[in-house]
Homo-oligomer: A and B are copies of this chain.
């Protein structure tokens, strides 16, 4: 079943008539229409692109003329003059286009909407009877369709290609931004398109063991630990991956032990993950295993991934929902040691009918 139809069914279940999507990620997940994101909200838009979906699975997309014509799925499309060779009232054109699409499709009754992205600019244009449904939508999106599984696999493969390139380029004398640029470019060539990117490439004990530091101009030296987290967006879907390794393949004993623990815990994750397992139990299993080996991490054990780089379910101690088949899950045990360096071992797993599989394996060694 297409995600438009699945969303229509959710709208019915919720006792509503129409869903209004305004998140770039949700729009892509439901319709396949890719909203450009890399420069933030486009200066040629009057507001976030909008998708309207009925309980019967009729869908319409409204977007600026700079993003139209993708014909990515089974929906009507209406573009408005965002870019034009004249003084342009983008918000006015946007409002008019959404009104026209709503009239054309016959939007009425009760709507459900996304609280984190619904714009005030539309508040007087759509039916007053409205309820946020972010959590229900997140649950729907967590289970991927056949089309999405293909896109997720491609994105994970691009990340894996990036991980191999990171090993090749991480040599003494290069600097972080230089190596990162080479990795990103390799992923773009593999994807055949520009990619948005999330992640980090940090070198040396101090940088690799500090969470949240930006990629900079530090020069790599022999023996440097590296944390390399690569998340490319390909055709609107995110890959993700992380490894820790050492320049010159001369890891310290401490770094080797940490890597072995993270990798072992990731292997445990692959064998434990299955439909019906509670997320918090899985999270607890992974944390306990790391602890038994003498390590811990201050963040989630992982997260769902799809048209958003982090999405439901987040692997945290109080998430009581159950894994389902065709969820895509990042698992990322690691530790950040001031005297050794930091690392995570992170791969994408697909929940299968009976267990889990690594979507796009790459070489998870530290030297």
Measured CB to CB, the residues of A under 8 A from B are: 23-25, 35, 37-41, 43-47, 66, 84-88, 90-91, 94, 113, 115-123, 132, 134, 175, 177-178, 180-182, 184-186, 188-189, 192-194, 196-198, 212, 214-217, 233, 298-300, 308-311, 314, 316-319
Contacts and interface: CB of A to CB of B under 8 A. Distances in A.
B119 A91 contact: no
Given A87-B318, A316-B86, A185 B178 contact: yes
A43 B309 contact: yes
Given A123-B123, A319-B87, A177 B194 contact: yes
Given A24-B40, A87-B318, A196-B39, A181 B177 contact: no
Contact of A185 (B182, B193, B194, B299): B182
A75 to B, nearest CB: 20
A298 B35 CA distance: 25
A189 B214 contact: no
29 contacts: A23-B41, A24-B41, A25-B40, A35-B40, A37-B40, A38-B38, A38-B196, A43-B309, A47-B116, A47-B117, A84-B316, A86-B316, A86-B317, A88-B314, A91-B134, A116-B121, A117-B119, A118-B119, A120-B122, A175-B189, A177-B193, A178-B185, A178-B189, A180-B194, A181-B181, A181-B186, A193-B215, A193-B216, A194-B215
Contact of A189 (B94, B181, B189): B181
Nearest to A36: B40
A215 B38 CA distance: 14
Contact of A116 (B41, B177, B185): B41
Nearest to A189: B177
A48 to B, nearest CB: 9
Contacts of A314: 87-88
Contacts of A66: 212
Given A40-B40, A86-B318, A185-B182, A115 B123 contact: no
B39 A39 contact: no
B300 A85 contact: yes
Nearest to A95: B115
A90 B116 contact: yes
A91 to B, nearest CB: 5
A43 B311 contact: yes
Contact of A119 (B44, B120, B180): B120
A194 B182 contact: no
Given A177-B192, A181-B188, 10 more contacts: A37-B40, A43-B311, A85-B298, A87-B318, A91-B132, A118-B121, A180-B185, A182-B185, A194-B214, A194-B215
Nearest to A216: B192
A311 B39 CA distance: 13
